[in-house]
Each structure stands twice: as C-alpha cells, then as structure tokens.
Amino acid sequence: MLSPTSDIGPDSGRGQRQGLPREPTSAIGKDVPDQPQTPSLIQRRMTLSRGLAYPIAAIAVSALNLMFQILPLVESGGTAGWRWIVVVLWAVLLTASIVMLVRARGAIVAFKREHGRDAGRQKPVGHP
C-alpha cells in the first residue's frame, strides 16, 4: 500500500530520495545559478531613465498646486491660517521632488561615468 508521503511521478525511481526537495532547473534543464544575474547595461539605463519620471511629474504637480494655494493666500492678506499649512506641505513636496530629481540625475551621471556615455543605448533597427 502507498503511503501519503510517497513520491510518485515521472521522476520516481530515478535516484531521487523521497521527501527531499529537488534542485531547481530552468525550462531547458540546466541548473539555475544561485546568484541572480546582474541586469544588462540596457536594462540599467532604462531603470535609471524611468527614475526621472516621478520627480518630474511631482515637481509639475506640486508647483502648480503651490501656485494655486499662494494666490488665494495673497488675496486674503495672509489671514487664512489653514492655507499656510497647505502651502508649507506643497513646498515640502516640491523640495523633496527636486531632491529626488537631483539624485536620479546623479545616478545617471555616475552610470555614464562608469560605463561610458553611450553605454546601454539602443540604436534603431536599420541605422548604423
């Protein structure tokens, strides 16, 4: 009689011990390396370039909202206390977004310095 823990399947009887996990293999049957592979230069450049999108959008949104909060504050003569809180919050977000943009640009500059100016750039198909 079979026990509930017995290993029956296409690999049973091929030298596998029952109850032990099998080594991971890829789809073509070769062993998967223990360490993750480092991303290619193209992937790294794309990731760094993608890192610019959020700070740019956040700068645009926070600057626009800051302007829309400052105008009514000036019209009221600065007496609306709650608007000061909103202005300070938008100013903090704007400052944080600028810091993020500077860091993202610095990472791209460091990447170019380390790997060369055109490292990871893709050329369009059909162009030399």
| Owning domain of residue 98 | 41-115
pLDDT digits (tens, 9 = 90+) for 74-105: 888 877 778 888 899 999 999 999 999 999 99
What's the domain count of the chain? 1
Q: What is the DSSP code string of 30-95?
A: PBPPSSPPPPPHHHHHHHHHHTTHHHHHHHHHHHHHHHHHHHHHHHTTT--HHHHHHHHHHHHHHH
Query: Is the predicted pLDDT of residue 22 greater than 70, yes or no?
Result: no
Please give the model's pTM, rounded to 2 decimal places. 0.62
pLDDT of residue 14: 55
Residue 29's pLDDT band, with cuts at 50, 70 and 90, is low
